[in-house]
Homo-oligomer: A and B are copies of this chain.
Amino acid sequence: MKATIYDIAREAGVSIATVSQVINGKGKISEERRNEVMRIMERLNYQPSVIASALTGKRTFTLGLLVPDISNPFFAEIARAVEDQSRRLGYSLVICSTDNKDERVERYLSLLRQKSVDGIIIGTGIDNEDIIKPLLTQSIAIALIARDMPALAVHTVVVEDFKGGALGAEHLLKEGHHRVAVLAEHPKVSSSRERVRGFKSVVEAAGLPWSEESVKSCDYTLEDGKRKALELLKLTERPTALFCCNELLAIGALQAAKELKLRIPRDVSVIGFDNTILASVSDPPLTTIAQPIEAMGKKVVDLLVEALQDKSAAAKAERIVLEPELIIRQSTSSIQV
């Protein structure tokens, strides 16, 4: 049986109140008593029950993280960043893969509430924002990462997607590309929409032709990215560069180009987005727009935990927008004349 606070108290010949004090470093306990109690806790391998403590109104020191799929490298890296900062601040992390299904989101949210987690970080797309509204009334803090839900007053950490798209376009234009196309995610994904908007704005500002036909929406798979890239690359007026809204799509594009015996970047340049491990292992390594994943993870946790301990901080909803960064590798080059 696990030792309880009573065992310690009995063994030390003090009251449980005293033991509780030394555990929490509160109140006034004499040096010797304190040492004696600590020695006994050690000897009995005593560990206070977070469960019991939480029941008295204290925190559970547990956070929930909702992502579409923890096995997707981007979210796996986000999770690592979030976990690291959580650990530093004394929190554990419950991960929840939603596959972007609202039903799953609802289920997980309800579960996390029943388990009295102190806060929830949402990094998954949600079709119906009303799903999380009820939570705002509860005593659970909420924060968003890599997702934007302007309609909701919650802490949010995102990268400046519009600028990321613009960065990609600028790079390509500087290299002399005129015919560019885009592999986007589903139109309902706001980050993808923004990236495309940013990309387009630069292309148009440069006075280059732009047609909605050159933007292909893909589902979440590499295969679909490849398929859509093939369509694009088979056009008679073949684009000389492809901007992809995530790295799975970019790798699909790479594969499509190879299948068509196009050399990269000589015949076609490809830009990715996220800068996950995939960008560095692909062949050629991907030029990509990096999201500062580690900083983002750290920041949401900071925001969330701050809101937990500070009533006033909890009230306002901060919105942190981090800078995307162009990472040049070998999948892009100046156009060959």
What residues of chain A have their CB less than 8 Å away from a CB belonging to chain B? 1-2, 45, 47-52, 54-55, 60-62, 69-73, 76-77, 79-80, 83-84, 92-97, 110-116, 134, 138-139, 222, 251, 254, 258, 277-278, 280-283
Contact = CB atoms under 8 A, between A and B. Distances in A.
A52 B53 CA distance: 10
Contact of A62 (B1, B54, B94, B251): B94
B50 A222 contact: no
A116 B80 CA distance: 23
Nearest to A95: B95
26 contacts: A2-B138, A2-B139, A47-B114, A48-B114, A50-B114, A50-B115, A51-B115, A55-B55, A60-B115, A69-B80, A70-B79, A70-B83, A70-B95, A71-B79, A71-B80, A71-B277, A73-B76, A83-B97, A92-B94, A92-B111, A94-B94, A95-B95, A222-B281, A281-B281, A282-B282, A283-B283
- Which of A76, A96, A139, A258: most chain B CB closer than 10 A? A76
Nearest to A93: B95
A72 B254 CA distance: 23
A32 B174 CA distance: 74
Contact of A110 (B47, B114, B138, B251): B47
Contact of A71 (B51, B77, B96): B77
Contacts of A55: 49, 51-52, 55
Contacts of A2: 138-139
Nearest to A284: B283
Contacts of A76: 70-73, 76, 79
Given A47-B110, A80-B97, A254-B283, 11 more contacts: A2-B139, A45-B134, A47-B113, A49-B114, A51-B115, A55-B55, A71-B79, A73-B76, A76-B79, A281-B282, A283-B283
Contact of A116 (B49, B69, B112): B49
A285 to B, nearest CB: 9
A25 to B, nearest CB: 16
A93 B114 CA distance: 14
Contacts of A73: 71, 73, 76, 277
A110 B278 CA distance: 34
A138 B1 CA distance: 7
A93 B94 contact: yes
A4 to B, nearest CB: 11
A181 B97 CA distance: 39
A286 to B, nearest CB: 10
- Which of A61, A69, A94: most chain B CB closer than 10 A? A94
Nearest to A60: B51
B111 A51 contact: no
Contacts of A251: 281
A72 B77 CA distance: 8
Nearest to A76: B76
The list of the 6 closest CB pairs from A to B, nearest first, reads A283-B283, A76-B76, A71-B80, A71-B77, A50-B115, A71-B76
A51 B54 contact: yes
Contacts of A116: 49-51
